[in-house]
Amino acid sequence: MKLLRMVLFSLLCLQALPAGAGTEMFDFSGNVDEQRYMALISQLRCLVCQNQSLADSDADLAHDLRVEVYEHMQKGENNRQVVDFLVSRYGDFVLYNPPVKPSTYLLWYGPFVLLAFGLILLVKNIRRRGRQSQERFSPEEQARIDALLADEKRQERGQ
């Protein structure tokens, strides 16, 4: 029984090992400052996950990009040079805060345009409903409605 428990415990420990296998171990004793590295990869978007930074992502591409960032920093490049390299390779999408320029206008201003369009449609719809409720029946239609209501009242009294 004791042996079975030890085997099960060992299997559980072995199962947990691959979870940390995707994490890189870098040597921060050289040119690369760990805080600078962490700050930089936190500002870069994972191209696979899209809603995670390189620091947060477990995707293989994120792993490769973290290694690439580390290697560029190891060469003595500053943050701007590393970011410029990644932007030239992957486009502004790699940045969490892309610059405002013609190619990113849709990204920056698109939500406001959609909001304005939605508000215009909402106002038009409300005004149209207001006009519909204010419209009166023609005299012929009103006479027909009155006749139908009178017939219904007579039938109720007759029951």
Is 20 within a domain?
A: no
Specify whether 91 is located in the same domain as 109. no
Name the residue range of residue 67's domain: 26-99
pLDDT in the model for residue 118: 96
Specify whether 150 is located in the same domain as 116. yes
Specify whether 87 is located in the same domain as 34. yes
- Please give the Cα distance from 63 to 80 (Å, whole number): 20
- Please give the Cα distance from 65 to 72 (Å, whole number): 10
Specify whether 122 is located in the same domain as 94. no
pLDDT at 151 over 90: no
Q: Which residues pair with 95 in a beta bridge?
A: 44
Question: Considering Cα of 119, then 120, then 126, then 129, what sign does the dihedral take?
Answer: negative
pLDDT at 86 over 90: yes
- Please give the Cα distance from 123 to 138 (Å, whole number): 28
For residues 104 and 73, the model is more confident at: 73
> How many domains does the structure of the chain reveal?
2
Specify whether 49 is located in the same domain as 92. yes
pLDDT in the model for residue 13: 56
Is 6 within a domain?
A: no
Is 69 within a domain?
A: yes
Specify whether 64 is located in the same domain as 109. no
What average pLDDT does this structure show over 144-152?
A: 89
Is 124 within a domain?
A: yes
pLDDT in the model for residue 107: 80
Residue type, 71: E
Average pLDDT of the chain, as a whole number: 82
Q: What is the DSSP letter of 54?
A: T
Specify whether 30 is located in the same domain as 91. yes
Specify whether 94 is located in the same domain as 108. no
Per-residue confidence at 49, pLDDT binned at 50, 70, 90? Answer: confident
- Please give the Cα distance from 23 to 30 (Å, whole number): 20
Reduced to 3 states, what is the DSSP secondary structure of residue 53? strand
Specify whether 53 is located in the same domain as 91. yes
Specify whether 38 is located in the same domain as 73. yes
Which of 7-11, 20-24, 77-81, 135-139 bottoms out in mean pLDDT, i.e. has the lowest?
A: 20-24
| Cα distances (Å, whole numbers) of residue 33 to 40, 70, 95 | 11, 10, 21
Would you say the pTM of this structure is higher than 0.85?
A: no
- Please give the Cα distance from 56 to 71 (Å, whole number): 19
Indicate which CATH number applies to the domain containing 54: 1.10.8.640
